[in-house]
Chains A and B, each alone.
Chain A
Amino acid sequence: MASLSLAGVSKEFNKMTAVSPLSLDIADGELVCLLGPSGSGKSTLLRMIGGFERPSSGQVLIAGQDVAHTRPDKRPTAMVFQSHALWTHMNVFDNVAFGLKLRKMSKAAIETKVMEALELVGLGGYHKRMPRQLSGGQQQRVAIARCLVLEPKILLMDEPFASLDQHLRERLREEVRQIQRKLKITTLFVTHAQDEALALADRIVVMSMGAIEQVGTPDEIYANPETQFVANFIGTMNMIPGTVSGGRIRASGFDLGAEMADGPAVLAIRPEDFAITETGTEVTVKRVVNLGPFLLAEAEHADGTAITVHLDKTHPVREGGALTLTAKRHAVYRDGDKPYRSQPTA
């Protein structure tokens, strides 16, 4: 196991910037998720760490050693691909054993290690099967075993569960988390699914357009998004355009504190950060959805702004009825400015 540091790493394809120069430190044994929409540069970044893309600039340091220009087969990394990438002409045993055979280990040692790895991913007894005889989830477990058996210093996972159904994804990500904790292996996990990142990661790196928007723990990222992009991308956030004047923002009937320069800005309030009060901003409920533990009300302000509110199930609410809202907690964003965050009220 080892730490991973990126120092000024960038990538250009035909003069188009895929990843702007960025730096990042990942501690030994940490599980970090690279989260972002398609085209945000997260997979390119992962491929540069794995050696499949050569950085246009910067250093990729694994345990302090720069491997930016080292071939993938010479790097202490192992990658799980989205497409599983199992070798269909080999059975499960040979798929997992291939890397060990290249390292010229003895037959007995290879057999022991392969069987252990397959047991670890819950596929004991499947070693003679061909990849086509396995389900998508089982194939991905073989791909994980193929990486783990080599005891890499860094484990890279490129949207490994993207092709699996929701139930299987949740199960596998729990298993991956358990294995990662057990082996204490430094892991970088690429995903575009925020629920996956929030559930798995020690820290999340949110990326957009080839740059890092924010690095933080799942709680920090969710509670205190540092940019408008992160606020919009993580969880559900009501983003209401408004104007700041004299230290207050006025937007769709809300009049809230905003210690920033005067001008246009965006008021951000999470659905669960509204309170139903006697006085406040009045909205009309358009639709109510029962989400189990709470109700989700899709409402609309008189100026046409859509507002999503989470309500306690005991709260009387009906479609077409009115709600009077105040914000328990809010933030104000403007590109290029430091965001303003209110202190939560009781």
Chain B
Amino acid sequence: MIGFIKRLDWPGYVLALFLIFFILLPIVTVFLWAFTEQWFYPSVLPTKWGLRYWFKVLERPDVWAAFFTSLQLSAIVTALSAVICLPAAYAFARMEFPGKQFFMMSFLMGNAFPRFALIISIAVLFLSLNLVGTYLGVVIIQLLNTILLMIWLPTAAFQAVSKNMEEAAMDVGASPLRVFWHITLPQALPAIGAALLMTFVWTFYETEGAWLVGAPRVQTMPLLMMSMINNQLVVQYGAVLSVALWVPSLIALLMARRVMGSDSFAKGLGA
């Protein structure tokens, strides 16, 4: 009887259907559209397959310019975020100072505001600072977006490093700097790696801040995609760019897995 009930795991099936319908299906549809030249109702599959739209998109110099701008922005923002946030995360994890809890919560509270409204008010401030329409302005607004993730995740990672491990290293003769470099950092690395990767990917896909502060002079990939879809509603353009945008994050994910090992990487993401 128990075996029979187990075989008919209805909640599991419902969940699987839900995931297929809301996650897998849209992704499959995007992929299909990316390689479609014609798709007429009521055909279930495209009526004509092809790479025509890929060539159309990829031969445009503004696509490549936007791609490299996005890559460069993501790399700069991730690096700056690491330089600023990782020491702060260590301080939050290991040091006691007045207002520690308040500052930790303030990062969360900043993200609790409606994002668009927050970015508009920052954009107004940037206007007075002549940062609107500049590369630096986009870097700063995207950097602000990464703070929550780059402080909270590494703080939790540093907190999770056993204090006894650090003390044991000190005990055998390691200076505080060596303890951090040889023990604390490697122990926290999977989570830090996950945070860096997510920061890179989020920055790459970030649209609102880049649009309000950077447009039209700073053209990132998501902004270019928006303008292409707005100018002429060809589904294939959107699909091709979506698949193209998916590639950098996939490469980053695969590299991270290779560098850190799948187990520790999954651990960093909380698995």
Contact = CB atoms under 8 A, between A and B. Distances in A.
A81 B174 CA distance: 17
B167 to A, nearest CB: 6
B177 to A, nearest CB: 11
Contacts of A87: 165, 168-169, 182-183, 186-187
B61 interface: no
Interface of B: 162, 164-165, 167-175, 178, 182-183, 186-187
Given A83-B162, A102-B178, A73 B168 contact: no
A294 interface: no
B172 A150 contact: yes
B171 A78 contact: yes
Contacts of A79: 167-168, 171
B183 A73 contact: no
A257 interface: no
B167 A85 contact: yes
A73 B173 contact: yes
Given A85-B162, A87-B183, A88-B187, A102 B173 contact: yes
Counting chain B CB atoms within 10 Å of each CB, which of A51, A73, A103 scores highest?
A73
A72 interface: yes
A81 B164 contact: yes
B170 A98 contact: no
A73 B182 contact: no
A150 B174 CA distance: 13
Most buried by A among B168, B174, B182: B168
B173 A52 contact: no
Contacts of B168: 79, 81, 85-87, 143, 146
A62 to B, nearest CB: 14
A99 B167 contact: no
Contacts of A59: none
A73 B171 contact: yes
Q: How large is the interface on A (under 10, 10 to 19, 20 to 34, 35 or more residues)?
A: 20 to 34
A185 to B, nearest CB: 15
Interface string A69-106: 00111000111010101111100000000110011000
Contacts, number: 63
A160 B187 CA distance: 23
A210 interface: no
A102 B162 contact: no
14 contacts: A50-B167, A52-B170, A73-B170, A73-B173, A73-B175, A79-B167, A81-B168, A86-B168, A87-B169, A87-B182, A87-B183, A103-B173, A147-B171, A147-B172
Contacts of A83: 162, 164
Residue from the set B175, B178, B182 with the largest chain A CB neighbour count within 10 Å: B182
Contacts of A85: 162, 164-165, 167-168
Nearest to B172: A99
Given A78-B172, A89-B186, A72 B167 contact: yes
Given A73-B172, A83-B164, A98-B172, 15 more contacts: A50-B167, A51-B170, A52-B170, A72-B171, A77-B171, A78-B172, A85-B164, A85-B165, A85-B168, A87-B182, A99-B174, A102-B174, A103-B173, A143-B168, A147-B172
A77 B171 CA distance: 7
A71 B172 contact: no
Contacts of B187: 87-89
B188 to A, nearest CB: 10
Q: Which of A50, A77, A99 has the most CB of B within 10 A?
A: A99
A102 B164 contact: no
A85 B163 CA distance: 9
A86 B169 CA distance: 9
Nearest to B264: A89
Contacts of B186: 87, 89
What are the 6 tightest A-B residue pairs by CB atom distance, in nearest-first order?
Answer: A99-B172, A85-B164, A85-B168, A72-B170, A102-B173, A89-B186
Given A87-B183, A88-B187, A89-B186, A99 B165 contact: no
Nearest to A83: B164
